[in-house]
Chain A
Amino acid sequence: MIKNYLKIAWRNLLKRKSYAIINISGLALGAAICLLIVLFIKSESSVDSWRKDGDHVYRMVLDRIYPGRQTSYAIIPQSFAKTVKQELPEVEESTRIFNFLNNGTFQINIDDNKYEETKVFFADPSFFKVFKSNLLYGSEEDALSKPNSAVLNETTAKKYFGDASKAIGKLFKQEGNNIEPNEPIVVSAVYEDWPENSHFNFNMLISSLSNQGFEQENYVGFSAHTYLLLNKNASPEKVESSFPGIIQKFALGDIERQFATSYEKFSSAGNGYKYYLQPLKDIYLTSHLEGEFRVNGNKSTLYIFGLVAFFILFIACVNFINLSTARSSERAREVGVRKTFGSEKKALITQFITESFLISILAMVVAVGFFALLLPIFNDISGKELQMSDLLSVNAILLLITFTCITGVLAGIYPAFILSSFQPIEVLRGKFKSGKRGKALRSGLVVFQFSISVILIVCTLIVNRQMEFMTSEQLGFKKEQTVIIERTDLLGENTRAFKNELKAINGVSKVSSASALPGMQNYFGISWATIENQNEPMTGRGIIVDNEYMETLNLKLVEGRFFSKDFPTDSLTVVMNEKAVAELGIQDPIGKRVVTPEGFLNANDGSQYVYTIIGVVKDFHYQSLHEPITPLVFTNASKFNNVMGLVAVHVEGTSFTSALDAMETTWKKFIKDKPFSYDFLDETVAAQYQAESTSRKVFTFFSFITIFIACIGLLGLAAYTTRQRIHEIGVRKVLGASVGNIVGMLSKDFIKLILISTVIAVPIAWYAMNKWLQNFTYRISSSWDLFVAAAFIALLIAFFTISFQAVKAAISNPVKSLRTE
């Protein structure tokens, strides 16, 4: 029986090749996208799930509360790990990891050969008690228990010593990393590589005992990723509730020393530390704190992707349903005959479901091909590294089978019921007109498909426009042609000489030292008050800059002047942005005197310096457009001998690359053992919008795919209805209708549907995009022209799809179509 069904299904496919291609390719494309997305979601949500005991491991993190704002850190003061373990019985083990390179490279010498290694951390001896891993060589006890010992993963061990087993006991030196120890480091153990789906991964761990600094008591400096292994029955909430007590007991002294104030004053000014725990397995998808090992994933992205996958698969199934029901008249006679010769309804349903299964199986085979084609594009968009081989895992194969079944049933069940319900008497009499049957449903489904398409088009347009707005918006400073040289604090007293040499480079017009540049997060929080009204301070951000900062970034001065070498007393002056002046509530700011409680801007003995306002600069977007411009106060770097972490170099003319080369040469002249590391200001600014940039790509990609699949369906449907009306077209042509008349007549119905879709889609898209735009303080308004554009695009695409068929029908010779009737 099944054989008979398959046979007839197969012949049906061969006989109507274009129909089969449309059906299969549409379904395959939908399935391929779905597969990609499901594998993506699976990979994202399984990060760290491979770990043994992972359910009992937590990361201790904190919210640092400042007056008026708060910042959350993934790294906490280094002394907590030990204290928490000692004080709380629930904590079975604790371990710290120091990301001292901040994702930079680590230089090592082995037998006079120099190498650079990444993912190198200092870690406590207890590391492998918390992160249980497979030991390959060496012993677990020795692993990190002695100073100057290191652990490698298998890949790294093989890289340096050929064979992982030979690595044990080998020595290497680390050099020029600006850290202790200077002793040779010995490899004490080799562990199996961790899977890539971990929220952090190491190539090399060095025992934290190697560096005395890590053992010093410190409860205020944020430095260590701290992980706790709790008892099997321990409640993390209970552990969390003990943290305030631990601060009271151990950290107060440190805090009071650091901030030169009593803890009571400190907290009543609105300061505080709130420590809490993150379950290990949740870190990757939910944690986005300062000092993460890497950019973590995002749950809402997963939801959006999941939704899109569902919609795309659904749209593909809709095509199948539409084409099958549309074609039902062709199958009606067969149904009638089969029924008269004894088929039961059940048997017919089985038959049609078998057919849709055959198609969905074929589609899955094709889907694997599409999968391979779309993989690189998708990886680029999602930032993942999915591979073809991921399809071979048992889960993926199960998924493929499930997909086949779901699409087979989903796409086949409606047509199966419709077809099998035909009354033989009707269809055999030839009175049966199936064109009408299910027309409402078909129209509804087309409307549904195009509503989704229009929504996606609108989203794509709005996301794109907002991105353009953000990159072209008057930021208030010049971001082009500016190089940021990092780690210039290493220059120390050579800073001035270095800058002078930079200025001599052909094309370099301006050079400035600063503690922060636009797009960076390292503006420090600070509060200022006028000397007359110290009880009402203004909180904002601070930055330390040299005299050239304003002209290097091309900031606009509103009043007064900027720091200048002509005024030696500028170390006790400040420049503010307009917002800061407004928040301080002062008229005529120039010459007004202000004070700050911040330790490093006051005398060493704690007595307060009084600063004078000398200038006001126009507000500029030193932070991302997500946030409103906040008060910003510039202090002069001459107080710190102009030694700052960053140097910005503005280059003019076209000699950009050669200027960059010359900067590197200059750097090498001053700093021998550290690589020249740099960035571009415009890229740093753009990096703030990485999430949006991803959304932009995602929307563009998905709306393209969705529209494509919807059009495949429309094409099939148009072809079908055109064929159904071929007689009518013939008659009309004989009566004198032009090609234009015919195309218009055939397109009219579909165009109507697309218009309805637009009407449905616009409010939904408007609502969704307004929500999205709320993320930005500075945003475009979702203006009507975008919706018109989206509707127009959808109409155009749909019309093009339909007219392809319509024109073909319209220009054919009417005699032919009339004769066949």
Chain B
Amino acid sequence: MLLQLEGIFKWVNTGGRRIFLLKDIDLEVEEGEFISIMGPSGSGKSTLLNVIGMLDGFNEGEYNFLNEPVHQLKEKHRANLYKEYIGFVFQAYHLIDDLTVYENIETPLLYKKMKSSERKALVADMLDRFNIVGKKDLFPSQLSGGQQQLVGIARALISKPKLILADEPTGNLNSKQSLEIMELFKQLNEEGVTIIQATHSETNASYGKRIIHLLDGARDDYNK
């Protein structure tokens, strides 16, 4: 078992009313799974991903990640956990504008205090694997959206995470680029990486081995 959510609630209070962002979510994820989370805008897909990624907290429920009770951990512990095991891919890529492709991919390793020679080897591998060696000295603004997302994924993978969380990874891409990225995810999954993606698109969702539907913050699988 990679992770397990039990009765997760998350809400905000506005104007005296409690609005639920997540309502009683139960979810179990095994290693090697490829899960797609589907649902309309505002259904809580991103919130769920952020909770899983430990970027965001929740109000009620239990969350165990690799048998560690996340809901009981201190902020710092939690951060260490996600740094170690989780890689993020964003819709808007979120590359650092002032760093080159090479440096962007290298950044997570810097925070792991890895030696320079090891870093070089790992980044070179990654560039090679994604076929972007020729672009390593370019800045994000000099790349197309698909290429930027490629770099984003490379960066997410560089620290060898167990889990990749992708929030609408193809949301800003055209269909051809989307296809490439999804194929890449599929391939990664076959290599053993667990992937959870949030998406609007039925096509993209179908890449997942399991699809979870959300509506207004609650699981809506039973209607499908």
Where the two chains meet, the residues of A that have a C-beta atom closer than 8 Å to any C-beta of B are: 1, 4, 7-8, 11-12, 15, 333-334, 336-338, 340-344, 347, 424-425, 428-430
With A7-B103, A428-B90 in contact, do A341 and B155 touch (Cβ < 8 Å)?
A: yes
Q: B88: which A residues are within 8 A, CB to CB?
A: 340-341
Least Cβ distance of A713 to chain B in Å? 24
B50 within 8 A of A: yes
Closest 9 CB pairs of A and B: A342-B111, A342-B83, A341-B108, A425-B55, A11-B98, A337-B94, A425-B56, A8-B98, A343-B111
Can you name the residue of chain A whose Cβ is closest to the Cβ of B158?
A341
Q: Within the complex, which residue of A4, A15, A341, A425 is in contact with B50, where a contact is CB–CB below 8 Å?
A: A425
Q: Cβ of B94 and Cβ of A347 under 8 Å apart? A: no
Q: A424: which B residues are within 8 A, CB to CB?
A: 55
Q: B97: which A residues are within 8 A, CB to CB?
A: 334
Where the two chains meet, the residues of B that have a C-beta atom closer than 8 Å to any C-beta of A are: 46, 50, 53, 55-56, 79, 83, 88, 90, 92, 94-99, 103, 106-108, 110-113, 155, 159
Q: A340: which B residues are within 8 A, CB to CB?
A: 53, 55, 88, 94
Can you name the residue of chain A whose Cβ is closest to the Cβ of B84?
A342
Q: Cβ of B98 and Cβ of A347 under 8 Å apart? A: no
Q: A344: which B residues are within 8 A, CB to CB?
A: 79, 111
Instruction: Give Cα distance in the complex from A8 to B50, angstroms.
Output: 28
Q: B108: which A residues are within 8 A, CB to CB?
A: 341-342
Q: B107: which A residues are within 8 A, CB to CB?
A: 4, 337-338, 341
Q: Within the complex, which residue of B94, B103, B110, B111 is in contact with A336, where a contact is CB–CB below 8 Å?
A: B94
Can you name the residue of chain A whose Cβ is closest to the Cβ of B113?
A1
Q: A429: which B residues are within 8 A, CB to CB?
A: 46
Q: B99: which A residues are within 8 A, CB to CB?
A: 7-8
Least Cβ distance of B172 to chain A in Å? 12
Q: Cβ of A430 and Cβ of B55 under 8 Å apart? A: no
Q: B159: which A residues are within 8 A, CB to CB?
A: 341-342
Q: Cβ of A12 and Cβ of B94 under 8 Å apart? A: no
Instruction: Give Cα distance in the complex from A197 to B154, angstroms.
Output: 67
With A342-B112, A347-B111, A429-B46 in contact, do A8 and B96 touch (Cβ < 8 Å)?
A: yes
Instruction: Give Cα distance in the complex from A12 to B99, angstroms.
Output: 10
A/B interface sample: 24 pairs, CB < 8 A: A4-B106, A4-B107, A4-B110, A7-B99, A8-B99, A12-B98, A15-B98, A333-B94, A334-B96, A334-B97, A336-B94, A337-B95, A338-B96, A338-B107, A340-B55, A340-B88, A341-B83, A341-B107, A341-B155, A341-B159, A342-B112, A344-B79, A428-B55, A428-B94
Q: B46: which A residues are within 8 A, CB to CB?
A: 429
Instruction: Give Cα distance in the complex from A577 to B90, angstroms.
Output: 93
Least Cβ distance of A333 to chain B in Å? 6
Q: Which of A12, A341, A428, A430 has the most CB of B within 10 A?
A: A341
Q: Which secondary structure dominates where chain A touches chain B? A: helix
Q: Which of B98, B107, B108 has the most CB of A within 10 A?
A: B98
Q: A333: which B residues are within 8 A, CB to CB?
A: 94
Instruction: Give Cα distance in the complex from A347 to B108, angstroms.
Output: 12
Instruction: Give Cα distance in the complex from A130 to B56, angstroms.
Output: 78
Can you name the residue of chain A whose Cβ is closest to the Cβ of B94?
A337
Instruction: Give Cα distance in the complex from A341 to B95, angstroms.
Output: 11
Least Cβ distance of A800 to chain B in Å? 33
Since A338-B96, A344-B111 are in contact, a sample of 16 more A-B pairs with Cβ atoms closer than 8 Å, ordered by chain A residue number, is A1-B113, A4-B106, A4-B107, A7-B103, A337-B107, A338-B111, A340-B53, A341-B83, A341-B107, A341-B108, A342-B83, A347-B111, A424-B55, A428-B90, A429-B46, A430-B92
Least Cβ distance of A162 to chain B in Å? 66
Can you name the residue of chain A whose Cβ is closest to the Cβ of B87?
A341
Instruction: Give Cα distance in the complex from A424 to B113, angstroms.
Output: 21
Q: Within the complex, which residue of B92, B110, B155 is in contact with A1, where a contact is CB–CB below 8 Å?
A: B110
Instruction: Give Cα distance in the complex from A11 to B100, angstroms.
Output: 11
Q: A8: which B residues are within 8 A, CB to CB?
A: 96, 98-99
Q: B79: which A residues are within 8 A, CB to CB?
A: 344
Instruction: Give Cα distance in the complex from A719 to B98, angstroms.
Output: 22
Q: A4: which B residues are within 8 A, CB to CB?
A: 103, 106-107, 110
Least Cβ distance of A497 to chain B in Å? 88
Instruction: Give Cα distance in the complex from A580 to B78, angstroms.
Output: 91
Q: A11: which B residues are within 8 A, CB to CB?
A: 98
Q: B92: which A residues are within 8 A, CB to CB?
A: 428, 430
Q: A428: which B residues are within 8 A, CB to CB?
A: 55, 90, 92, 94
Least Cβ distance of B112 to chain A in Å? 6
Instruction: Give Cα distance in the complex from A340 to B86, angstroms.
Output: 9
Can you name the residue of chain B whose Cβ is closest to the Cβ of A338?
B107
Can you name the residue of chain A whose Cβ is closest to the Cβ of B111?
A342
Least Cβ distance of B66 to chain A in Å? 17
Instruction: Give Cα distance in the complex from A1 to B107, angstroms.
Output: 9
Instruction: Give Cα distance in the complex from A424 to B53, angstroms.
Output: 11
Q: A1: which B residues are within 8 A, CB to CB?
A: 110, 113
Least Cβ distance of A624 to chain B in Å? 63
Instruction: Give Cα distance in the complex from A400 to B183, angstroms.
Output: 58
Q: Which of B50, B94, B96 has the most CB of A within 10 A?
A: B94
Q: B90: which A residues are within 8 A, CB to CB?
A: 428
Q: B98: which A residues are within 8 A, CB to CB?
A: 8, 11-12, 15, 334
Q: B110: which A residues are within 8 A, CB to CB?
A: 1, 4
Least Cβ distance of A88 to chain B in Å? 72
Instruction: Give Cα distance in the complex from A344 to B113, angstroms.
Output: 12
Q: Cβ of A341 and Cβ of B103 under 8 Å apart? A: no
Least Cβ distance of B113 to chain A in Å? 8
Can you name the residue of chain B whose Cβ is closest to the Cβ of A423?
B55
Can you name the residue of chain B whose Cβ is closest to the Cβ of A12?
B98
Instruction: Give Cα distance in the complex from A544 to B221, angstroms.
Output: 116
Q: B112: which A residues are within 8 A, CB to CB?
A: 342
Q: B113: which A residues are within 8 A, CB to CB?
A: 1
Instruction: Give Cα distance in the complex from A338 to B88, angstroms.
Output: 11
Q: A12: which B residues are within 8 A, CB to CB?
A: 98
Q: B95: which A residues are within 8 A, CB to CB?
A: 337
Instruction: Give Cα distance in the complex from A341 to B46, angstroms.
Output: 18
Instruction: Give Cα distance in the complex from A11 to B55, angstroms.
Output: 29
Instruction: Give Cα distance in the complex from A56 to B88, angstroms.
Output: 74
Least Cβ distance of B139 to chain A in Å? 9
Can you name the residue of chain B whose Cβ is closest to the Cβ of A10?
B98
Instruction: Give Cα distance in the complex from A254 to B50, angstroms.
Output: 100
Instruction: Give Cα distance in the complex from A342 to B99, angstroms.
Output: 16
Instruction: Give Cα distance in the complex from A1 to B99, angstroms.
Output: 13
Q: Which of A8, A337, A347, A430 has the most CB of B within 10 A?
A: A337
Can you name the residue of chain B whose Cβ is closest to the Cβ of A333?
B94
Q: Which of A4, A338, A342, A428 has the most CB of B within 10 A?
A: A342
Least Cβ distance of B51 to chain A in Å? 10
Least Cβ distance of B111 to chain A in Å? 4
Least Cβ distance of B158 to chain A in Å? 9
Q: A343: which B residues are within 8 A, CB to CB?
A: 111
Q: B50: which A residues are within 8 A, CB to CB?
A: 425
Can you name the residue of chain B whose Cβ is closest to the Cβ of A1?
B110
Can you name the residue of chain B whose Cβ is closest to the Cβ of A341?
B108
Instruction: Give Cα distance in the complex from A334 to B96, angstroms.
Output: 6
Instruction: Give Cα distance in the complex from A337 to B88, angstroms.
Output: 9
Q: B83: which A residues are within 8 A, CB to CB?
A: 341-342
Least Cβ distance of B92 to chain A in Å? 7
Least Cβ distance of A92 to chain B in Å? 67
Instruction: Give Cα distance in the complex from A430 to B155, angstroms.
Output: 20
Can you name the residue of chain B whose Cβ is closest to the Cβ of A15?
B98
Instruction: Give Cα distance in the complex from A428 to B97, angstroms.
Output: 14
Q: A342: which B residues are within 8 A, CB to CB?
A: 83, 108, 111-112, 159
Instruction: Give Cα distance in the complex from A347 to B83, angstroms.
Output: 14
Instruction: Give Cα distance in the complex from A333 to B50, angstroms.
Output: 16
Least Cβ distance of A175 to chain B in Å? 78
Q: Cβ of A337 and Cβ of B111 under 8 Å apart? A: no
Instruction: Give Cα distance in the complex from A338 to B95, angstroms.
Output: 9
Instruction: Give Cα distance in the complex from A727 to B88, angstroms.
Output: 31
Instruction: Give Cα distance in the complex from A11 to B99, angstroms.
Output: 8
Instruction: Give Cα distance in the complex from A87 to B24, angstroms.
Output: 102
Can you name the residue of chain A whose Cβ is closest to the Cβ of B109?
A342
Can you name the residue of chain B whose Cβ is closest to the Cβ of A5?
B110
Instruction: Give Cα distance in the complex from A7 to B104, angstroms.
Output: 12
